[in-house]
Structure 1
Amino acid sequence: MMTIPSTIAIAANSQQPLQVNRLGYGTMRLTGEGIYGEPANRPEALQILQAAVASGINFLDTADYYGEDVTNRLIAEALYPYNSDLVICTKVGATRKPDKSWIAYNSPQELQTSIENNLRTLKIDQVQLVHFRVMPHSTMPFEKSMEAMFAMQQAGKILHVGVSNVTPEELTTAMSMGAIATVENMYGHGQRTTLKTPHGENRGGEEVIAICEANSIPLIPYFSLVNALHKSDNRIATIAEKYNATEAQVNIAWLLHRSPWLLPIPGTSSLAHFNENRKATTISLTEEDMAFLR
């Protein structure tokens, strides 16, 4: 069996590194239909957050445009006051219109407004980790948005700065401007490279993972369980049968084995599915399994 680390360091080379367990939880699915509005089952949403922390998960991914503001308010309701080791990561750079569409919200003033909103709804004085999310069709220069992010870090509003949905070139640019703690890009066994959608591009993890590994930067994969586009690839199903596991569990296990710099954050609105996903950490894939899944 392969030996995989159970923890990962965020901003490992900084004066204030954050050590977290390597399975996090993404809160996006706790919202209503279309990632908008209140959850269909609010008590269960709160139970999932409490179960996550009770199980040892100490990395939560959220955004003030989930809901809007729904996941932040759920986190505060379920978990405040927070455990000292809990890392809450949020994203800025986007907002929602009343028709539920997603638009860029990334001018310096808009980013400051988003940060202040996150601080208020999460009931904190400083956000430990913030990803600047690159949105398609934005007219705001990437460098100008990043300047605003680092300025807020200097002001003490943000502890660590990360980026999301970036190309290798954007990541390199951001790294030349300041310390980048994490990258959050789309990545999973069934979707490794840039995916073009009707709403724009979701940049992939395979394009940036080498940069992350070379610079000790955790890559946080979103949409990691996407494999609907690859139904002809039955390799995950084969390994799932071998271990009497679900395909979702094997997807998560593959990420944990793929690189020690990957921090999966599978999300769900079902407590049963949450518990099922968590058991993926008990699956020990062999080198032969990983070669088969390559």
Structure 2
Amino acid sequence: MTITIAQNSAHPLTVNRLGYGTMRLTGPEIWGEPDNRPEALEVLKTAVAEGVNFLDTADYYGEDVTNRLITEALHPYPNGLVICTKVGATRKPDKSWVVFNSPENLRTSIDNNLRTLKQDQIQLVHFRIMPHSEVPFDESLGAMFEMQREGKIQHVGLSNVSREELEAGLKMGPIATVENMYGYGQRTTLKTPHGENRGGEEVLDLCEQHGIPLIPYFSLVNSLPKATAKIAELAQKHNASEAQINIAWLLHKSPWILPIPGTSSVAHLRENLKAADIRLSQEDMEYLG
């Protein structure tokens, strides 16, 4: 199974439809070096060896930890590998997450990603929308498109985006991908003070209409009532783990979904990748709802 990013552009990117999110490779609280650095490097090498050619990272993971691990494990990068990063936030020494989304901030983040990933151009960058931002959305996204024109970024995506913001972004320029929280047990995110939802359910149909891959994060969270019980029942039926059924549900939900389940374990990585072999019937999908 493959999916094409920016299919109508001059430089589309076709990747296998099960990627890998690197966030779990850091230390506790997504900060610092991993407890087991050799295994973290082996996870990345194994993922690529098993056919994963889409990696999701950010320079504020660690900070800069996942980028440096990717470079150490995989550089020079194999042909066809797509590395996607995110900008719009940064971390303080107290491990807090803060907004970092002025045009100057975004340029600093892009330059840092280019340096740590040892790239001349980043293939895909998500502008992550953070709460309590004082910078207008169109000003930040405009800076992203400007860096795309300069050649620093190949494709621009949005993360943690509401439906209204995605609609506004599409009017400003080509949006290649959307990365929102989404999974069988996590359909929407909490509403913002302005009443906006920023989950996958709110934007999936719009992504499908425009041929935009939806990349779900935190896809293995089960917060819906009875979600765990139904997943457990299907896992037993298919002789699979609950995580595998969660991933399989995403793959069956829409051909425009590109899951990126993360883990710091080689064993769990291999288990997650096997979810692509699970075939859920129409009856299974109707049962899950």
TM over 0.5: yes
Deviation digits for residues 126-154 of structure 1, max 9, x if unmatched? Answer: 00000000001111110000000000000
Q: Does 1:135 align with 2:130?
A: yes
Residue in 2 aligned with 1:248?
Answer: 243
Residue among 196, 220, 226 paired with 1:232 = 226
Amino acid in structure 2 at the alignment position of 1:153 = Q
Amino acid in structure 2 at the alignment position of 1:120 = R
Shift of 1:231: 5.8
| Residues 186, 202 of structure 1: 8 Å contact kept | no
Amino acid in structure 1 at the alignment position of 2:200 = G
Amino acid in structure 2 at the alignment position of 1:84 = N
RMSD (Å) for aligned C-alpha atoms: 1.5
- 1:34 alignment partner, SS class: helix
Q: Does 1:46 align with 2:41?
A: yes
Structure 2 stretches lacking a partner, 5+ long? none
- 1:195 alignment partner, SS class: coil
Residue among 141, 148, 155 paired with 2:150 = 155
Distance in 2 separating the partners of 1:84 and 1:257: 28
Q: Does 1:121 align with 2:121?
A: no
Shift of 1:203: 1.8
Amino acid in structure 2 at the alignment position of 1:184 = E
Q: Does 1:35 align with 2:30?
A: yes
Amino acid in structure 1 at the alignment position of 2:93 = P
Length-normalised TM-score, structure 2: 0.97
| Residues 185, 202 of structure 1: 8 Å contact kept | no
Residue among 263, 271, 277 paired with 1:276 = 271
Distance in 1 separating the partners of 2:224 and 2:203: 22
Distance in 2 separating the partners of 1:78 and 1:194: 33
Amino acid in structure 2 at the alignment position of 1:34 = E
Distance in 2 separating the partners of 1:235 and 1:206: 19
Distance in 1 separating the partners of 2:240 and 2:190: 27
Distance in 2 separating the partners of 1:97 and 1:217: 33
Residue in 2 aligned with 1:178?
Answer: 173
- 2:84 alignment partner, SS class: strand
Shift of 1:196: 5.4
Distance in 2 separating the partners of 1:175 and 1:40: 41
Q: Does 1:111 align with 2:106?
A: yes
Residue in 2 aligned with 1:72?
Answer: 67
| Residues 99, 130 of structure 2: 8 Å contact kept | yes
Aligned length: 287
Shift of 1:292: 0.6
Distance in 2 separating the partners of 1:168 and 1:119: 30
- 1:280 alignment partner, SS class: helix
Shift of 1:271: 1.0
Shift of 1:193: 1.2
Distance in 2 separating the partners of 1:274 and 1:165: 25
Distance in 1 separating the partners of 2:68 and 2:8: 32
Identity of aligned residues (%): 71
Structure 1 stretches lacking a partner, 5+ long? 1-5
| Residues 22, 263 of structure 1: 8 Å contact kept | yes
Residue in 2 aligned with 1:3?
Answer: none
Shift of 1:202: 7.5
Alignment of 1:63-102 (within 5 A): 63-102=58-97
Distance in 1 separating the partners of 2:191 and 2:221: 14
Length-normalised TM-score, structure 1: 0.95
| Residues 162, 197 of structure 2: 8 Å contact kept | no
Amino acid in structure 1 at the alignment position of 2:183 = G
Amino acid in structure 2 at the alignment position of 1:47 = E
Deviation digits for residues 13-51 of structure 1, max 9, x if unmatched? Answer: 101000000000000000000000000000000000000
Classify 1:27/1:258 alpha carbon distance in 2 versus 1 (closer, same or farther; 3 Å). same
Shift of 1:230: 3.3
Amino acid in structure 1 at the alignment position of 2:260 = I
Q: Does 1:164 align with 2:154?
A: no
Distance in 2 separating the partners of 1:185 and 1:248: 19
| Residues 134, 164 of structure 1: 8 Å contact kept | yes
Distance in 2 separating the partners of 1:196 and 1:32: 29
| Residues 95, 105 of structure 1: 8 Å contact kept | yes
